[in-house]
């Protein structure tokens, strides 16, 4: 297993109680290089400041860069090995859509929602002249780490610092980008009315877990198309999930912001293929009958050292 690099962005910590996710796209016909330098410096500053001001609260700002933005900004070549534009994955019934994203920001705090707001405001102040925010989702911790559907989320995350670094950070196979991470995000909207119409045993069959205890069903009992059966692609292929629920009563948008950090995007793609297409084909994730993916974008998360280089290049 690889040692943890000295300066990765904060992709390995568990999520806090408060998050803001933002996706920005650069405007056409605008010189974005100077703005990008400023935003790289700002991300470093926000993390340093939070570490001093809120030492026990684990505030952080993580920035990811999309494939097309990497090319437009003329960042180093060759690119990270698996950085690409995410291609839609179409199953017989459900689709993992692909959406454009140049920059992604993951802002989080365990207890202080105000610092997330302040970080978002600072980022917007720098980017507004050159980019448009196309997605802003405010996540919150729901009870004991449950999704808005009522089941605990993230149970399959690798445990322990070394394992999380092994599965979450790029290692020696791509030495120029060691310590970086692939970031994949999807915004899911849930049909709560349909899901809540199911009995608890029926809901548990969708997840393959018991609702109250979060105990996984035995393999000989768990349905083959349950979420825990389909989304599990083996102990050698893990990701760092940092999903958060969100909700807007007025717009009737209740969902999950799925966010995965990984040492290889191929791991995420393998999981998505199994969820949306199925193995065998047609055995898709039953949870998708109650969840629609509205976005799907891949980013690369540079180390803080890389951001420092980008800010002064």
Q: Using alpha carbons, list the distances in angstroms from residue 6 to 63, 76, 266, 306, 309.
A: 17, 21, 25, 12, 15
For residue 102 the two structure tokens come to 């140049």
CA-CA-CA-CA dihedral for 127, 129, 132, 133, to nearest 10: 40
> Residue 125: which of 203, 208, 183, 39 has the closest Cα?
39
Instruction: Write out the H or E segment, with its range, that includes residue 256.
Output: strand 253-262
Distance CA 268, CA 87 (A): 13
Respond yes or no: is residue 235 known to be catalytic: no
Q: Is the dihedral of CA 117, 123, 127, 133 positive or negative?
A: negative
CB 29 within 8 Å of CB 148 = no
Set 153, 214, 242, 308: catalytic member = 153
Distance CA 216, CA 228 (A): 8
For residue 159 the two structure tokens come to 């445990």
CB atoms inside a 10 Å sphere around CB 273: 16
Distance CA 102, CA 98 (A): 13
Q: Token match 């999704």: residue?
A: 147
- DSSP-derived secondary structure for 26-85: EPTT---HHHHHHHHHHHHHHHHHHHHH-TTTT-EEEEEE-HHHHHHTT--SSPPTT--P
Catalytic residue set:
153
């Amino acid at each position: 297993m690889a040692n943890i690099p000295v300066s990765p962005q904060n992709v390995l910590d568990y999520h806090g109680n408060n998050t803001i996710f933002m996706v920005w796209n650069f405007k056409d016909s605008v010189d974005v290089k100077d703005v990008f330098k400023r935003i790289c410096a700002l991300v470093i500053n926000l993390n340093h400041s939070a570490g001093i001001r809120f030492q026990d609260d684990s505030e952080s700002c993580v920035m990811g860069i999309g494939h097309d933005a990497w090319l437009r900004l003329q960042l180093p070549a060759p690119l990270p090995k698996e950085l690409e534009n995410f291609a839609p994955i179409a199953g017989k019934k459900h689709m993992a859509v692909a959406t454009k994203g140049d920059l992604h920001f993951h802002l989080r705090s365990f207890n202080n929602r105000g610092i997330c707001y302040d970080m978002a405001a600072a980022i917007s102040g720098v980017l507004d002249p050159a980019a448009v925010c196309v997605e802003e989702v405010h996540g919150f911790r729901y009870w004991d780490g449950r999704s808005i559907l009522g089941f605990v989320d993230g149970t399959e995350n690798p445990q322990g610092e070394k394992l999380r670094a092994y599965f979450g950070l790029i290692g020696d196979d791509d030495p120029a980008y060691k310590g970086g991470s692939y970031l994949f995000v999807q915004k899911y909207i849930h049909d709560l009315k349909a899901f809540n119409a199911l009995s608890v045993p029926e809901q548990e069959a969708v997840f393959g877990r018991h609702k109250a205890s979060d105990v996984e069903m035995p393999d000989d009992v768990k349905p083959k198309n349950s979420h825990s059966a389909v989304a599990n692609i083996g102990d050698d292929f893990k990701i760092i999930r940092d999903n958060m629920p969100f909700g807007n009563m007025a717009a009737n948008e209740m969902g999950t912001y799925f966010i995965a950090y990984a040492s290889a995007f191929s791991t995420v793609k393998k999981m998505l293929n199994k969820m949306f297409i199925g193995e065998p084909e047609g055995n898709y994730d039953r949870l998708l009958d109650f969840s629609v993916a509205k976005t799907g974008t891949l980013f690369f998360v540079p180390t803080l050292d890389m951001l420092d280089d980008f800010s002064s290049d």
